[in-house]
Amino acid sequence: MDRTLPEEQFVCFNVRDFLNPEETSGIGENDLEEILSNFYSPKNSDVESFLKRNSVEFTKKNQSVTYLVFSLEDMYLVGYFTITMKPVTVNTKGISNVAKRKLERLSHYDQITDSYTVSAYLIAQLGRNYNVEVKHPITGKMLLNFAVDTLHGIQRQLGGLMVYLECEEKEPLLKFYQEQNGFRFFGERLIEGKERENQKLLQFLNFL
């Protein structure tokens, strides 16, 4: 039986709403930690670890901002995403002329490397909660829609054009981002750290 609710039956909150309860009528940081402790992601331990160990501190330090998505039915955490802004280099090889024209609006072009350097929105984390207590799971498509809708709101205030993300080279992920959601491959990045030496992440872009 499909327990998934329509998208309008989910609600998204900025983590900052929980950090200043006196100003925002939030529930407070201690209660936030309890909420985050119920997040479980067996398919991607990094997604779970970031939410529990880094998301709050990164938000406090303005390194990134995490958003929590809840089911309105029972206000249980069903997923989250994290957004930040970073410079990224996009090589022109393999991207369309339309994409090149869009990049030219707000980037620096390097003739030697034939690449654009642009400040872009990064969806740094995107994760669903696989805890068995989740009664109404959200789909990956809905969660990504929340992230993109949030970026549209930010774009309205600040401008900006490009959003990108990185993922492992796994067929389900490639199909999800490329075929189902229109992201385009533009490069790869080696993962730093001894434990993951020589592993890489594929990079995908889209325009808001």
Kind plus residue range of the DSSP H or E element containing 119: strand 115-128
Q: Cα(119)–Cα(207) distance, rounded to whole angstroms?
A: 13
Cβ(143)–Cβ(82) below 8 Å? no
Provide the whole-model pTM: 0.91
Tally Cβ neighbours within 10 Å of residue 60.
12
Q: Which CATH class is domain 7-207?
A: alpha beta
For a pLDDT cut of 70, what percent of the chain falls above it? 91
In tens, the pLDDT along 147-174 reads 999 999 999 999 999 999 999 999 999 9
Q: Where are the domains of the chain?
A: 7-207
Place of tokens 């385009």: 184
In tens, the pLDDT along 128-147 reads 999 999 999 999 999 999 99
Cβ(202)–Cβ(177) below 8 Å? no
In tens, the pLDDT along 38-62 reads 999 998 999 999 999 999 999 999 9
23 band by pLDDT with thresholds 50, 70 and 90:
low
Q: Cα(127)–Cα(45) distance, rounded to whole angstroms?
A: 10
What pLDDT is stored for residue 1 in this prediction? Answer: 38
